Amino acid sequence: MPAPRATAFSRRDMLRLTATAGLVFLAGGMILPGNAQAETFAMPPLPYPENALEPVISARTVSFHYGKHEKAYFDNANKLVADTPLAGQPLEKVFLEAGKDPKMVGLFNNTAQAWNHVFYWNGLKAGGPAPSGKLAKAIDASFGSLDGCKKALSEAAATQFGSGWAWLVAGPDGKLKVVKTGNAGNPLQEGLKPLWTLDVWEHAYYLDYQNRRPEYIQAVLDKLVNWDFVAKNLG
């Protein structure tokens, strides 16, 4: 499959893509599967070529992570949602509703993981600018400094036992904070607004870093955070 164009999408470009591909464009610049075709979640393309995150994350890791792991979540989600009352609903609504029903744990795990992964990829960018404006002020107010924000994210990611995610979120009061979730957990389940996430499942880093999770975490925080994406999600 040919790699996507290595150019930044403007908001107009994204809107045009969503209109032609049956996707939903969310506030914050994120593209998620829509329900133009009932019961089908379309897996969005990566927003950059597989080698765009090197040397922090190798093309080999991206290929396996996106092409195998994420694809499996989307494939399973489509199988599991069929013939349920949630068929034809947007991905976000499906995982939030499925997460309330222990009998739908498989559907929750796969739809939430599909959502989480799309969000993760959109939050990464090599060589992007530092936070500015409203986001920079919010970070300073909540963490004291950008370094304080990165430290909180690093600690959450490093101390998440087993598989899971570290998140930068906005609470109902608008204040920023860092939370972590296990497995397929998502802050939306707690009424929090996701702004950015770091995947700490082993498949996200093991080919490049083996058991050196802290090294992966620090490299991503120092070199790959797409602060423009975070700012758009903050609004």
Tell me the binding residues.
65, 117, 199, 203
Tokens of 140: 């300073």
What's the CA gap between 74 and 39, in Å, rounded?
Answer: 12
What's the CA gap between 91 and 22, in Å, rounded?
Answer: 13
Binding-site residue ranges for Mn(2+): 65, 117, 199, 203
Tokens of 154: 């690093």
Of 42, 48, 46, the residue nearest 20 (C-alpha): 42
Tokens of 155: 């600690």
Taking CA atoms, 182 is separated from 22, 51, 109, 122, 132, in Å, by 30, 28, 11, 20, 31
Q: Which residues pair with 25 in a beta bridge?
A: 31
What's the CA gap between 189 and 95, in Å, rounded?
Answer: 9
Neighbours of 55 (CB within 10 A): 10
Backbone angles phi, psi at 8, to 5 degrees: -75, 140
Tokens of 91: 């991905």
What's the CA gap between 218 and 200, in Å, rounded?
Answer: 12
Taking CA atoms, 10 is separated from 187, 223, 229, in Å, by 27, 22, 12
